[in-house]
Each structure stands twice: as C-alpha cells, then as structure tokens.
C-alpha cells in the first residue's frame, strides 16, 4: 500500500512531510514525492524520486530547499504503472492547478481516462491516480464557471469525483489557487487527520498513525465518503453531500513501533486482517457488471486474446513454498472448470528435470516477491523454450513480473511478515479469475454456473471478515495445543492442498514438526506415527469427499489422535469424529481454500505467540529467497 502525509500550519511543510514519509517506509514502496505551496510562490512545487526516500531527501536537502507551509507527500507501492519518477506521486493537472497523492486503486480509471481524453486532457503517466487529478481539475474548472467560492469549488470537485470514481482511495489534494488549504477524501483506504498545537500549530493528514506521532497524538479517523478541509487554524469535515459533520478526536496511546503495525502486535496479524480488502482489491476491478446485472471476467490487462486462451493445450503452474501450494489449488480449479490439462511443480524441481513443454502450453509462475531465484530460473527456462509465460506477482516491476510475457498482479499491498497470508489469498483469487476466464472462452462453463461462481468469488471478502470476527475461538484452541510436538494436516482433493499450506504456516513460525498428508494415504504407512495426543487437523470442505475424510478422522482418533475438524457451516456430522471443530461459511467447493486457510493461519499465528517466538521474522527464513 502507498503512504500519504500532509501538513498545513505555521512551520515549513517539506521537512515534516519527509519525516512523516520516513515513518511510513515500513509499508514498502518504490518511489516517493512531495508537493509544497509557498503563499508567495506562483505555483505548487513538486519534487519526486524513484527508489529510496533518501533520494528525495538528498534532492531537497532534507526538505530545507522546498519553501512553503502547506504540502502533501507520498510513498508509492506501484500497482498501475512501473516504479519510476514519472509514475511517482504527486500527480497533477496542467499548471499544477490540482495536485494529488493517492493510496488505493481506481477500478474504472481506464473509462475515466477515455472520458477526460475526449474532453481534451492529456495524460503523462500510466497511473490510475493521474486520472483523479485530471477529473478533479475538470470539475474544479466547472465549479469556477458557476462562480462558486474557493471552498465551494473544492467541495464541488471532490464530491463529483467521489460519485464518478469506483475503487478505493485516501487522497491528499492541493488546489493551486488555494495556497493555505489542504483537502483530503477517503473511501476504503485508511486516512486520519491530526491537530497540531503549540509551535507546530496546524493540521496534518496521513494514511497511518506513525506519520503524525512526532507532531500530534490527537487524531480524527476519516470514514468512507467523507471530505476534510484543513487550514492552519481550521479543520472542517463534510459528508459526500457537502454537509458539515462533527467527529470526535481520539488520543493515540500507541508507541511508534506499535503504530507501524496499525495497533496490531505483529505484521502477520495485520496482514491476516487485511485479507478481505486485499482479496476485494484483486477481484473487483476484474469482474465487470453488465447493464443486465450479469458479470464477466475482464483480464484484458494480460494482452492475451480469447483465441490465445482457447489455444492453450496445457497449463503448468510453478512456485515455491506457499506459492507452490497456491499452484496445487489452481491446478484443481483450472482443470475442473476449463478441462485444460494442468500440472503443478516446485520451481526448484521443474528447472532441473528437463521438462516436456508443449508448443501451446501456458506456464504460470506464482510469486509474491517476484524475485525468488528458483521461480525466476524456471521462468527463464520456459522462455528459452519459447513457451508462453504468465506471472502472478505482488511486487510491481519485480524481475518475474518484468520477464514474463504477461503479469496478473495481486493487489495485496506490501507483505512484511515472512509468513505469507494476504499474498497467498490474493494469488488464489487471481487463479480463480483465470480459471473462470479460461472456461468461459472455451465454452466449458454454462452461463448460470459462471454467474454463480462470480457471485461466490465476490462474496469471499465478507466471508473472510466473518471468520476473522471469531478468531478468539482459534486462539483458545491454539493456546491449548501450543506444547504439541507433532501435528498432521489431512484432507482429500482441495483439502489436501489446503493441508499443505496449513502445515507450512505452522512449521515456519512455531518450529513444530508438522506434515500434510492426503487423508487416503495415511493407511499406507504414516498412520503408524499416530499415538495418544498427536494433533490431527482434518480438512473436510469438499462435500463429495466429506464422509471419507470423517472416516479417516475416526481411524486416527481410535489410535489416540486429538482431532481439529474444519468444514463448511452445516456439516455438523464432523462432530462425531472431531474433538474441536471450526466451521467456515458456505461457498463453492472450488473456493473453499480461501476460507479454510484463514483458521489455519490463525492457528499457526497464535501457537507461535503462545510459544513466545518472533512471529514476523522466524529463524532461518527470509521474506524473499533470492538465492538458490
Ligand atoms: C510462505 O509463508 C514462505 N514465506 C515461503 O514459502 C514463500 O511462499 C516462498 O519462499 C515463495 O516466495 P515468493 O512467493 O516470494 O516467490
């Protein structure tokens, strides 16, 4: 996610903006910029730099070289458009009449670009944010013709933008003809306003509390479709109807370290909690609703025609660790829906087995970081063989993203914790989109089934939210089992794929030995390890395999195992075999992974906490394995 900060007050703004952006560096970024207005100057001054914030600090002599007491700043985590100085924020309209910093995703930016182009606007960048700047400029100019006051013009422009834009945003906005005023608006992306007293007298905006803690602990949390107008001595808040509203100030009690995690104890829990937003951001912009209410998947960003997709003869999914586990799920979903033969392989195995690759194969490389050495090497091998490659990646501009023929980005935002959670969930979402698109163009999906699948996909974020609302129940069980020494995760079909991820999560952050096993395979040897007290986590989300998994549970329970059963709401028969049960909301069995994985992430997290371990930085592990 990007970070935004703003200040208007008695002090010079640039040093405060840069300091605030430094406090947001933990969010991950690839470029940064500030815009400052000096009342004596004719224009707003904008300075941007690719790379680390230090580059911007060096360019502006730590902000001392940029005069003015009103400004906005931004650290960019690229989603639309490569990391570059040009694509860095702030973005602005001609003559810098409107200057904007943005955190979020504008889903209908292409449509708005076309509308503004028809109106004579020219675009300089590849970003969705520039669209907001020019749209505000367009409405601001329209308001000026109506003879409205500066404040009224700003509210008119922001309100109309809010009505026209689809997506998520936290915006910091400067209008060139209002030197002492700073505006902000919010929908779905976090935004706070701070009140600074004493020698710092003024007001601030920020994406997150750490950016303001050096200047104030008195903040207002802006809610969706609310607008803030700030000057040195005044804060005014409005709703989307431009009616003034009152909101209480909150005194922040957090220290800076806690604040970086949004009040969560660990980045991992913060990122587990961000999954509803991350999955929604990855799915919604790619599922279009037609006039008649029907939906369809739009993956035009891949640059693959329907004929290209129809010609695909085989799909090979490649990844490491959790990315590989996503591939195991993807193989089942793509094959089940599109009837295209699929295989999945560990990147570190694939690259050394001299793979057989068909001319019309599609190789999908899955990677959060986009820098994993084995996955990058596997991608390069496929390109040497002339096979079409598609990357599912979270980091824009990463090596795998740049070298693949096409990239389907997950919009999870930066993932700090070594154990992946939100990136895993958004990779699943990306594969669901691909599976439905492939099936739709190949005619293996009837219209009713396609609509049901898309409706179930769009319901996933709220269902994940529901599961998270009951996380204390998993916490209770985790504390009870935190001393266990051997854990088995078992399941059949997709439940086996989910078991793989549940087992890895537990191993990597709790250091407890664990194995994932196809439930039908236990009796071929491993069941000899089952004895009194061994914890077995049984996944039973697949209706057609439910009874078989329950009988496997009975087998291991009769040998002393302690059973954690995980299934869909309504499958109460599992309680005949389980000692402890978690139910997740009902969804299409093909998407059950997205829900069942949440309690498993929580189980691993809480056991690691109970064991007093470093959840975010587990021993021996790195966030991105860029060496073989
Ligand atoms: C998952 O929690 C681990 N951090 C690890 O298995 C990870 O998924 C693997 O190293 C692949 O990383 P990538 O997605 O960045 O390629």
Residue to probe by mutation, ligand 1, list 268, 317, 323, 608, most atoms within 8 Å of CB? 323
CA–chain centroid gap for 117, Å, is 30
Determine the pLDDT at residue 258: 64
Chunk the chain into consecutive blocks of 10 residues (it has 628) and report each block's average pLDDT, rounded to whole numbers. 92 97 85 94 93 95 97 91 91 96 93 96 94 98 95 97 95 96 93 94 93 93 95 97 94 72 89 96 94 94 95 97 98 98 97 94 96 93 97 88 94 90 98 98 96 98 97 96 95 98 98 96 90 95 97 95 97 96 98 98 97 90 75
Q: How far is the CA of 90 from the centre of ligand 1 (A)?
A: 32
Instruction: List the chain domain ranges.
Output: 3-259, 261-466, 470-613
Q: How far is the CA of 80 from the centre of ligand 1 (A)?
A: 23
**Residue bearing tokens 């703003």:** 6
Q: At what angle do helices 422-442 and 592-610 cross, to 10 degrees?
A: 170
Determine the pLDDT at residue 483: 93
Q: What is the CATH number of domain 261-466?
A: 3.40.50.10490
Q: State the DSSP H helix or E strand holding residue 322, giving kind and residue range, or none if neither.
A: helix 321-338
* 3-259 matches 470-613 in fold: no
Rounded Cα distance between 543 and 323, Å, is: 26
**Using an 8 Å Cβ cutoff, are 489 and 526 in contact?**
no
Q: Of all atoms in ligand 1, which is nearest to the CA of residue 419?
A: 2
Residue 584 in tokens? 């997740």
Rounded Cα distance between 126 and 111, Å, is: 14
Q: What is the CATH number of domain 3-259?
A: 3.60.20.10
Determine the pLDDT at residue 608: 97
Q: How far is the CA of 445 from the centre of ligand 1 (A)?
A: 32
Task: Give the residue from 457, 110, 410 showing the smallest Cα distance to 281.
Answer: 410
Q: DSSP string spanning 472-503? A: HHHHHHHHHHTT--EEEEEESTHHHHHHHHHH
Rounded Cα distance between 552 and 318, Å, is: 30
Residue to probe by mutation, ligand 1, list 625, 626, 627, most atoms within 8 Å of CB? 625
Catalytic residue among 480, 548, 617, 623: 623
Q: Of all atoms in ligand 1, which is nearest to the CA of residue 418?
A: 4
Q: DSSP string spanning 181-240? A: -EEEEEEBS--EEEEE-GGG-EEEEESSGGGTTTT-SEEEEPPTTEEEEE-SS-EEEE-T
Q: Of all atoms in ligand 1, which is nearest to the CA of residue 325?
A: 8
Q: Of all atoms in ligand 1, which is nearest to the CA of residue 505?
A: 2
**Interacting residues of 281 by C-beta distance below 8 A, sequence separation 6+:** 105, 168, 411, 412, 413, 426
- pLDDT tens digits, one per residue of 454-494: 999 999 999 999 999 999 999 999 999 999 999 999 999 99
**Using an 8 Å Cβ cutoff, are 464 and 432 in contact?**
no
Coil, strand or helix at 335: helix
Say if strands 342-346 and 314-319 run parallel, antiparallel, or are unpaired.
parallel
Nearest-CA residue for ligand 1 atom 7 is: 321
Nearest-CA residue for ligand 1 atom 16 is: 367
Q: How far is the CA of 421 from the centre of ligand 1 (A)?
A: 10
Residue to probe by mutation, ligand 1, list 320, 393, 404, 415, most atoms within 8 Å of CB? 320
Question: How many percent of the chain have pLDDT more than 90?
Answer: 86
Nearest-CA residue for ligand 1 atom 8 is: 322
Determine the pLDDT at residue 521: 93
Q: State the DSSP H helix or E strand holding residue 150, giving kind and residue range, or none if neither.
A: helix 150-164
Half-sphere exposure of 273 (CA within 13 A, CB side): 13
Q: How far is the CA of 621 from the centre of ligand 1 (A)?
A: 10
Residue to probe by mutation, ligand 1, list 394, 418, 420, most atoms within 8 Å of CB? 420
In the structure, which protein residues have their CB atom closer than 6 angstroms to any atom of ligand 1? Answer: 320-323, 367-369, 372, 375, 418-420, 508, 624-625
Nearest-CA residue for ligand 1 atom 2 is: 419
Catalytic residue among 2, 229, 320, 609: 2
**Using an 8 Å Cβ cutoff, are 392 and 75 in contact?**
no
Q: How far is the CA of 11 from the centre of ligand 1 (A)?
A: 45
Q: Enumerate the H helices of 397-545 as residue ranges.
A: 399-403, 422-442, 447-468, 471-481, 494-510
Q: Of all atoms in ligand 1, which is nearest to the CA of residue 423?
A: 14
Nearest-CA residue for ligand 1 atom 6 is: 321
Q: How far is the CA of 323 from the centre of ligand 1 (A)?
A: 6
Q: How far is the CA of 107 from the centre of ligand 1 (A)?
A: 28
Rounded Cα distance between 272 and 144, Å, is: 46
Q: What is the mean pLDDT of the chain?
A: 94
Q: Of all atoms in ligand 1, which is nearest to the CA of residue 369?
A: 15
Determine the pLDDT at residue 540: 98
Nearest-CA residue for ligand 1 atom 10 is: 321
| Buried b or exposed e, range 397-420, using 16+ CB within 10 angstroms | bbbbbebbbbbbbbbbbbbbbbbb
Q: How far is the CA of 41 from the centre of ligand 1 (A)?
A: 50
Q: Of all atoms in ligand 1, which is nearest to the CA of residue 375?
A: 16
User: 2 catalytic, yes or no?
Assistant: yes
Determine the pLDDT at residue 254: 67
Nearest-CA residue for ligand 1 atom 4 is: 419
Q: How far is the CA of 517 from the centre of ligand 1 (A)?
A: 20
Residue to probe by mutation, ligand 1, list 372, 403, 608, most atoms within 8 Å of CB? 372
Q: Of all atoms in ligand 1, which is nearest to the CA of residue 508?
A: 2
**Using an 8 Å Cβ cutoff, are 360 and 312 in contact?**
yes
Q: Which fold has domain 470-613?
A: Rossmann fold (3.40.50)
Question: Which region, left, alpha or beta, applies to residue 339 given φ > 0 means left and ψ of -120 to 50 means alpha?
Answer: left
Q: How far is the CA of 389 from the centre of ligand 1 (A)?
A: 20
Count of Cβ atoms closer than 10 Å to residue 145 Cβ: 8
Q: Of all atoms in ligand 1, which is nearest to the CA of residue 621?
A: 4
User: 342 catalytic, yes or no?
Assistant: no
């Amino acid at each position: 996610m990007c970070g935004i900060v703003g200040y208007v007050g008695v002090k010079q703004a640039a040093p405060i903006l840069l300091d605030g952006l430094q406090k947001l560096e933990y969010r991950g970024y690839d470029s940064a910029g500030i815009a400052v207005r000096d009342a004596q100057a004719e224009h707003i001054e904008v300075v941007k730099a690719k790379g680390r914030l230090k580059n911007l600090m060096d360019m502006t002599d730590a902000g001392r070289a940029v005069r003015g007491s009103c400004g906005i700043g931004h650290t960019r985590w690229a989603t639309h458009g490569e990391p570059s100085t040009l694509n860095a924020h702030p973005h602005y309209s001609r003559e810098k009449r409107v200057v904007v910093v943005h955190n979020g995703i504008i889903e209908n930016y292409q449509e708005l670009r076309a509308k503004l182009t028809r109106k004579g606007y020219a675009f300089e960048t590849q970003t969705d944010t520039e669209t907001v700047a020019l749209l505000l400029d367009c409405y601001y100019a329209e308001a000026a013709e109506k003879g409205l006051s500066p404040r009224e013009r700003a509210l008119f422009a922001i309100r109309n933008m809010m009505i026209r834009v689809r997506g998520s945003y936290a915006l910091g906005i400067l209008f060139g003809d209002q030197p002492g005023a700073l505006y902000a608006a919010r929908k779905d992306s976090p935004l706070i306003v701070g009140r600074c007293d004493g020698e710092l007298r003024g007001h601030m905006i920020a994406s997150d509390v750490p950016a303001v803690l050096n200047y104030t602990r008195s903040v207002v949390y802006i809610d969706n479709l609310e607008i803030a107008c700030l000057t040195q001595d005044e804060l005014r808040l409005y709703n989307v109807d431009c009616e003034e509203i009152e909101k209480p100030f909150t005194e922040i009690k957090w220290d800076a370290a806690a604040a970086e995690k949004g009040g969560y104890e660990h980045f991992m829990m913060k990122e587990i909690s961000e999954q509803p937003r991350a999955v929604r951001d990855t799915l919604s912009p790619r599922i279009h609703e037609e006039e008649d209410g029907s939906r369809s998947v739009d993956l035009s960003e891949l640059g693959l025609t329907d004929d290209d997709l129809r010609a695909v003869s085989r799909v090979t999914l490649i990844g490491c660790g959790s990315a590989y586990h996503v591939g195991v799920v993807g193989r089942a979903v793509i094959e089940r829906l599109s009837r295209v033969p699929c295989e999945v392989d560990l990147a570190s195995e694939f690259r050394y087995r001299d793979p057989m690759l068909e001319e019309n194969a599609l190789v999908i490389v899955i990677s959060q970081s986009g820098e994993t050495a084995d996955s990058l090497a596997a991608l390069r091998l496929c390109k040497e063989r002339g096979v079409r490659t598609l990357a599912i990646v979270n980091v824009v501009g990463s090596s795998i993203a740049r070298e693949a023929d096409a990239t389907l980005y997950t919009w999870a935002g930066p993932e700090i914790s070594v154990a992946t959670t939100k990136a895993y969930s958004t990779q699943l979402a990306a594969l669901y989109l691909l599976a439905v698109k492939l099936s739709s163009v190949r005619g293996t999906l009837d219209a009713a089934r396609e609509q049901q699948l898309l409706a179930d996909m769009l319901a996933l974020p709220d269902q994940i939210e529901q599961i998270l609302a009951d996380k204390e129940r998993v916490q209770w069980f985790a504390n009870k089992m935190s001393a266990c020494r051997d854990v088995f995760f078992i399941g059949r079909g997709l439940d086996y794929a989910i078991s793989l991820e549940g087992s890895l999560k537990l191993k990597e952050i709790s250091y407890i030995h664990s194995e994932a096993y196809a439930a039908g395979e236990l009796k071929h040897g491993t069941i000899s390890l089952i004895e009194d007290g061994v914890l077995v986590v049984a996944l039973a989300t697949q209706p057609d395999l439910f009874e078989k998994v329950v009988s496997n549970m009975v087998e291991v329970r009769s040998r002393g195992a302690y059973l954690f059963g995980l299934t869909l709401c309504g499958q109460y028969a599992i309680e005949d075999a389980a000692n402890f049960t978690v139910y997740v909301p009902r969804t299409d069995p093909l998407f059950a992974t997205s829900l069942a994985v949440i309690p498993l992430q929580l189980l691993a997290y809480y056991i690691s906490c109970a064991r007093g371990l470093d959840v975010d930085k587990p021993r021996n592990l790195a966030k991105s394995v860029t060496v073989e």
